[in-house]
Structure 1
């Protein structure tokens, strides 16, 4: 089942297993069950602490449960956890086998203290780069707390369940039979939803923090680089991020990050966070900034957070990034995750054999249409302009596909549905003015990005596009406030550029600090 080089690699990891792992598999006569049987045989051969029982009676077949004798643990995979989920399998084996997690101690203690009975089911797709974060978080929770059970389910393999539960986006998580949440979630976010007192404790802890020398707002590549460069100067550094990794978490393949031939967004995001944690950086995750107050007589900039707490700092680096641009038409919000999607890699497999539309004719839109054409029955690509804007090599590939229709000079005006899911859309012909309805089951929106800067309006100078205006040092219109990354006017929104600009902004902040000594500001205030 596994390639020889992968077996060698996996054997090295499994040397860290310290207690027995018992795997119980439920199989049938399908080809997938044969593949799973081969995978489990490989695992047993690679690690003497693994035993396999093929006589399981779970109703989902193929599936297998991981446990350890003497420990009340239930982690189950329904399907073959390959692709992006292979890492989830490896981590589950290590954790069930007693290898400690690298998650924050405070979070692990919160999980262990959760009371009640929690049966989680996570539906994923093998091509989804966001799904492993959720699967791994809930697997870890099930290992730590015996009152938590988790089953990770390949939605493409168990299509009947997906249809019955009306799942149109992954990851989708059910708790005790009811829908719990959708989309990427960290263990901290899951615990925050379960532990109702966690938010209040976090707010109080943040409010009690002493002022920083450099406070970074945003945890993408620019923010991570800024935090590292600031911390290396030996100054008090903090980073407040709504989600560490930012847009990178939503990026499938990265092949232009210099010196790294290829990687995936979630892997790079994890590496960024790990690198930041090597330094004395106060990381405040799950924190959304909503207010910036310029420095007053005390020389401190204030950042207000959504939870009501505030942080103060001598300098600030804004690296809030960007988000997917929406069409802003009737039906889009109503049917989000009910047929309206923004990640073709994540959600595409759920639309196997169905009809979908892709909105946008740039590189992202055309790439999405090409990928989806290999999964769905038919793709209608709708472009506002009179011609596609994607690279010619992509357009040639698109034109070679027989199940793709391209409509240009078209404006999407409405997403239609039956109340529970998408069943069509309406577009207007910008040349003749006529409206047309397209019958379909999914709409993938790929029309670019919007900077996350609404909360800075009327405080920091913004461009007409809403980007933070910066000079060649990353300085904004406010003294002591710098900015970097996709939220700024710097052209070419690329990871490597964001990292460079984040480093530059931190160095500029440090230069500002040494040129404006604390005692001088105190004298001015007096």
Structure 2
């Protein structure tokens, strides 16, 4: 029996673990991927205390803090959270169960798929969801980036330094931060394609092309690319809370300003919650709030 179970090992979950442990709460931290999206993030320029820091380097600093405290770490995919005898029971895919008096959900989001023909079949064979991880594999090649937000243009920035040519494909005009747009807009090996949807991704063993359709004319065109980086946003990782916690129309866990959810004793923090801004620094702050909220909740229990 733990005081708190924290699900998710991104910036929200790791910060929550430190704050919970500092309050002398017995804490178990469960997750599939240590660091979450931060582990593969490109350079971070908006985290206070650092003019510039790469995601893995920032994660290492988070990890140094966590290691100072008696936090039990468990690698595993959580498949269900339930209530039993007034306690929370967290079950992992391999059948393990963890009981706790409170729970903090900080599982973040996962990349959204295009759901275009060929995408799933060619994932890992030219289709990628992580430019930081896979960009070096496409040195000297022609690639496409699908999306027009911060993630897409950050991917494009990584790729223009490596690839022969980068096509950035989006339904609408770019909506990224101006500082990111400025880094790529004048790149000689970048083509901006606005007003196009992806029809299919082609290839047998590897990606050989992407077929687009113009939203204005309906005309289709094929780009002979060897890589497709899908950067069209993400979806909350909330399948395992279905039936327990209330979600909003986006599938995010509804929270109040103190990270409380629809169930007393259950808290949510970071990108998985309904907070409006999805940033590393915001997620870390929300993780701290959730842990302090769990501590206050336990103090008030008889």
- For the superposition of Structure 1 and Structure 2, which TM-score range results when normalised by the shorter chain? over 0.9
- Which structure has more relative contact order (CA 8 Å, sep 6+)? It is 2
Match in the other structure for 1:276: 66
Q: Distance in 2 between matches of 1:511 and 1:396?
A: 45
Q: Distance in 2 between matches of 1:476 and 1:424?
A: 45
Per-residue deviation at 1:488? 0.4
Per-residue deviation at 1:227? 1.2
Q: Which of 17, 22, 25 is 1:232 aligned to? A: 22
Q: Distance in 2 between matches of 1:460 and 1:250?
A: 29
Per-residue deviation at 1:317? 0.6
In the alignment, does 2:40 pair up with 1:250? Answer: yes
Deviations 1:129-154 (A, max 9, x none): xxxxxxxxxxxxxxxxxxxxxxxxxx
Q: Which of 175, 188, 193 is 1:402 aligned to? A: 188
Per-residue deviation at 1:394? 4.2
Q: Distance in 2 between matches of 1:251 and 1:442?
A: 19
- Secondary structure at the aligned position of 2:229 is classed as strand
Match in the other structure for 1:312: 99
Match in the other structure for 2:231: 446
Alignment check: 8 A CA contact 2:41 2:132 kept: no
How has the CA–CA distance of structure 1 residues 504 and 326 changed in structure 2, closer, same or farther, with 3 Å as cutoff?
A: same
- Secondary structure at the aligned position of 1:469 is classed as coil
Alignment check: 8 A CA contact 2:270 2:286 kept: yes
In the alignment, does 2:9 pair up with 1:219? Answer: yes
Q: Which of 277, 281, 286 is 1:501 aligned to? A: 286
- Secondary structure at the aligned position of 1:460 is classed as coil
Per-residue deviation at 1:470? 0.4
In the alignment, does 2:46 pair up with 1:261? Answer: no
Q: Structure 2: where are the runs of 5+ without partners?
A: none
Larger Cα Rg: Structure 1 or Structure 2? 1
Per-residue deviation at 1:399? 3.8
Q: Distance in 2 between matches of 1:365 and 1:405?
A: 13
Q: Which of 328, 341, 353 is 2:140 aligned to? A: 353
Q: Distance in 2 between matches of 1:477 and 1:488?
A: 12
Match in the other structure for 1:121: none
Alignment check: 8 A CA contact 1:358 1:381 kept: yes
Query: TM-score, length-normalised on structure 1?
Result: 0.55
Query: TM-score, length-normalised on structure 2?
Result: 0.94
Structure with higher strand content: 2
Q: Structure 1: where are the runs of 5+ without partners?
A: 1-210, 518-526
Per-residue deviation at 1:253? 1.2
Structure with higher helix content: 1
Q: Distance in 2 between matches of 1:244 and 1:374?
A: 28
Deviations 1:367-415 (A, max 9, x none): 3223322322222111011x22234454455342332222111111211
